Amino acid sequence: MKTSLCHADAESIEVCGSDLVEDLLGQVSFADMVGLMLFGSLPTEPHRRMIDALLIVLIEHGLVGPAIAARLTYHSAPESLQGAVAASLLSAGSRHLGTSELCAEMLQEGLAAHPDVPLPELATSLVRDRLARRDRVHGVGHGFHHGGDPRADRLLALADECGVSGVHCELIGEISRALAETHGALRPVNVTGAIAAISSDMGLDWRLAKSFALIGRCLGTVAHIQEELREPIAREVGELVERNAEYVPRAGSTTGSEAGGG
């Protein structure tokens, strides 16, 4: 069994080849550490700027389901801050927050399987294949930012500025155009699509593409819990649901006496 991440003894702690106390604490930023841990080396200034943006972009998006789940969990178990944070992060999946992983898989595997196919042609093929299978084309379109996701636009522009934009960023743009042509509807690149493309161009495995969302949203969730402490809404949310939930007996259900239970 081997690890290159950390070694600790009674006198020192070494992280990725650097002394934690002497070389890292007070010397590098959290974005530097993300670069070191995920990409294998301390980032250059442009890469640090890009990592910072990827960590920041999904920290917060209002009172969405995961934030409410965290508040309700904390209301029920205030001794478990970690449980409330976990409740939020566990919902990062194929419908919300976690689609950067699925988009990165599509981009990376599509390019790996067809390295010589022109990008517009590859994009059209990927879109048609998913539509034929009634599958979602991840990374484009947004349920709220219908006319375009401003976060995605800024991330992609920043990727150009930082020199990290590459073939994956080009492909996600072509997929957006191909979907508009094939499906007849505007589907701009969304924030998770931009994260997927940029992290892929930076060399991150698609299975880790939602790492930035998870790390960032962890902070956002803690902020929601802090706000819940100051201005609680969890009880009100629960009462709102209870007042508006209608009880409808199951069809065909019987009482105990009707069933012969006495």
pLDDT in tens, the chain (262 residues): 999 999 999 999 999 999 999 999 999 999 999 999 999 999 999 999 999 999 999 999 889 999 999 999 999 999 999 999 999 999 888 887 889 999 999 999 999 999 999 999 999 999 999 988 988 899 997 666 566 689 999 999 999 999 999 999 999 999 999 998 887 777 899 999 999 999 999 999 999 999 999 999 999 999 999 999 999 999 999 999 999 999 999 887 666 555 555 4
Three-state secondary structure of 5-26: CEEECCCCEEECCEEHHHHHCC
Three-state secondary structure of 29-82: CHHHHHHHHHHCCCCCHHHHHHHHHHHHCCCCCCCCHHHHHHHHHHHHCCCCHH
- The number of residues making up the chain comes to 262
Which of 244, 241, 243 lies closest to 75, judged by CA?
A: 241
Q: What sign does the dihedral 64-61-142-209 (CA atoms) show?
A: negative
| pTM reported for the whole predicted model | 0.89
Q: What domains can you pick out in the chain, each with its CATH number?
A: 1-39 (no CATH), 99-208 (1.10.230.10)
Q: Three-state SS for 205?
A: coil
**DSSP one-letter string for 117-157:** S-HHHHHHHHHHHHHHTT---TTB--SS-TT--HHHHHHHH
